[in-house]
Amino acid sequence: MGDVHWFVGIDWSSTQHRICLLDADGRHVAERDVTHDGTGLAELCAWLMVRTKAEPAEIAVAIETPHGPVVEALLERGFQVFATNPKQLDRFRDRFSVAGAKDDSRDAQVLADSLRTDGRAFRRLMRDDPLVIELREWSRLHEELRQEQNRLGNRVRDQLWRYYPQALQLAGGNLAANWFLELWKRLPTPAKAARATERPIARLLKAHRIRRLQAADVLRILRQPPLSVAPGTTEAAGAHLRSLVQRIRLVNQQIKEAERRLDELCAAIEQTTPGQICEQHDVAILRSMPGLGRIIIAALLAEACAPLRLRDYHALRVLSGQAPVTRRSGKTCIVLRRHACNNRLRNALYQWARVAMQHDPISKRRYAELRARGHSHGRALRSLGDRLLYVLCTLLERRTPFDPNHRSRQMAVA
């Protein structure tokens, strides 16, 4: 940080932020509070430049959170902003108070002074491209909608279990599927299923392209001997299900819209000029990798755009939790799973490795070898995800799409 002469620590909160300003020698220069609104953040930026009489690029700001209005306001005005993990800040705090004292002023000072002395422990933040910001929001929204869909589906299961368990045999594990909701609407009780005919059921299955079931099979399953339930149970469960079905249909529609928007944003990123966000070839290379679909590609671009742009394999494996944590002392050596990581990126890598293991012969063989060595399913998938990240970064550096026959061609040439 040779170009930095001033260090600022911000202990942020929901309504008011504590600011501490230090000079290059660590001397306390000033301290104040600012409110969390447009006026307060504008006053903060102006106050820093007035007190230091320096350009924004000469002022380094330390904060715990890597995102939010405070970070965006500072980056917009050209300040150097650095983030650290709250757990790391807790370790730095021990330097100033062995007794564990903690308050807003102390935390702001600890942030500023730690940035001055241990800048390598902080991560510099950069302004994100608008496309990446929008992609990140849609990717996270899609994940939330999927979670909501799963919650509502579980509640549908609970209600059907009360009076209509044979219907659960038809869902195939997806109780939120539109075709299943339409089928329940047509045949909401065993009594109606007993009077139904095959023709409307066949039309429903054909309209939703359900080929694993025939209308006769559906009616046979639904006409199994019903449960004996207390009077009013069927009506009560049916009322609950009608409410759930309406909400699930709305969620399904929103998921479809989110997936459409993710495709559009990935295509827009693919069309950007070289040097912006990711190169045009980057998205094409991502699409060529085995196991990568729209959702995982969107998660990678949204949560790890900067490491992908830098082809930083080591940063990617740490952020995604693929890099293990080693604890070595004397004769003891323990290797543990990394928990301090980006959870969305970790989940994306897990799904990537799982799908690649099913469809890519090399990944499938590697997974089998790891399992044969005694690795658990999760550990084997993390190792596989680590390998896939290494392959991806190598391909990005060479600007070459994935070739499943690459090794075979090398052997043929040899």
228 and 299 assigned to the same domain: no
122 and 139 assigned to the same domain: no
pLDDT at 74 over 60: yes
Mean pLDDT to the nearest integer, 139-167: 95
The Cα 114–Cα 288 span in angstroms is: 43
Residue 283 is predicted with a pLDDT of 87
Residue 254 is predicted with a pLDDT of 97
107 and 215 assigned to the same domain: no
* CA-based R_g, the chain, Å: 28
Instruction: Classify residue 268: in a domain, yes or no.
Output: no
22 and 64 assigned to the same domain: yes
Q: Which of 163, 162, 207, 160 is nearest to 182 (CA)?
A: 207
84 and 143 assigned to the same domain: no
Mean pLDDT to the nearest integer, 44-54: 93
pLDDT at 276 over 60: no
Mean pLDDT to the nearest integer, 251-266: 94
CB of 384 closer than 8 Å to CB of 349: no
Instruction: Classify residue 363: in a domain, yes or no.
Output: yes
Higher-confidence position of 93 and 153: 153
Bridge partners, 83 (sequence order):
63, 123
Residues in the chain: 414
Give the pLDDT band (50/70/90) at residue 221. very high
Residue 273 is predicted with a pLDDT of 56
DSSP secondary structure string, 164-228? -GGGHHHHTT-TT-HHHHHHHHH--SHHHHHH--HHHHHHHHHHTT--S--HHHHHHHHTSPPP-
Of the CA atoms within 13 Å of residue 276, those in its CB half-sphere come to 10
Alpha helices by DSSP H, listed for 66-197, are: 69-76, 86-96, 104-117, 130-163, 168-171, 178-186, 190-195
Mean pLDDT to the nearest integer, 192-210: 94
pTM, two decimals, is 0.83
Instruction: Classify residue 269: in a domain, yes or no.
Output: no
406 and 294 assigned to the same domain: yes
Min mean pLDDT across 215-219, 279-283, 371-375 is at: 279-283
The Cα 61–Cα 91 span in angstroms is: 19
Instruction: Classify residue 200: in a domain, yes or no.
Output: yes
Instruction: Identify the domain boundary among 69, 95, 127.
Output: 127
Give the pLDDT band (50/70/90) at residue 65. confident
292 and 366 assigned to the same domain: yes
The Cα 406–Cα 338 span in angstroms is: 32
The Cα 315–Cα 349 span in angstroms is: 14
Instruction: Identify the domain boundary among 89, 107, 127.
Output: 127
Give the pLDDT band (50/70/90) at residue 128. confident
98 and 150 assigned to the same domain: no
Kindly report, residue by residue over 82-123, the tens digit of the pLDDT. Answer: 998 888 888 888 888 777 778 889 999 999 999 999 988 898
39 and 139 assigned to the same domain: no
The Cα 286–Cα 299 span in angstroms is: 12
Q: How many CB atoms are located within 10 Å of the residue 173 CB?
A: 8
Give the pLDDT band (50/70/90) at residue 280. low
Which whole-number Å values give the CA distances from 253 to 142, 197, 295, in the listed order?
11, 29, 16
Give the pLDDT band (50/70/90) at residue 413. very low
The contacts of residue 392 (CB under 8 Å, 6+ apart) are 285, 286, 289
Question: What is the 8-class DSSP label of residue 121?
Answer: G
CA dihedral 121, 303, 345, 149 (to 10 degrees): 140
Crossing angle of the two packed helices 104-117 and 86-96, in degrees rounded to 10: 100
The Cα 261–Cα 15 span in angstroms is: 33
DSSP secondary structure string, 335-366? EE---SS-HHHHHHHHHHHHHHHHH-HHHHHH
236 and 341 assigned to the same domain: no
Domain of residue 117, CATH code = 3.30.420.10
Total structural domains within the chain: 3
At position 33, the amino acid (one-letter code) is D
The Cα 122–Cα 247 span in angstroms is: 43
Residue 269 is predicted with a pLDDT of 84
242 and 190 assigned to the same domain: yes
Instruction: Identify the domain boundary among 127, 162, 182.
Output: 127
Mean pLDDT score of the chain, rounded to an integer? 90
Domain of 56, in residue numbers: 6-127
Kindly report, residue by residue over 316-339, the tens digit of the pLDDT. Answer: 999 999 999 999 988 899 988 998
Mean pLDDT to the nearest integer, 162-169: 94
Instruction: Classify residue 290: in a domain, yes or no.
Output: yes
Give the containing element (helix H, strand E) for 372. Answer: helix 361-372
280 and 385 assigned to the same domain: yes
pLDDT at 411 over 60: no
Instruction: Classify residue 267: in a domain, yes or no.
Output: no
CB of 70 closer than 8 Å to CB of 16: no
Instruction: Classify residue 347: in a domain, yes or no.
Output: yes
pLDDT at 158 over 60: yes
Instruction: Classify residue 265: in a domain, yes or no.
Output: no
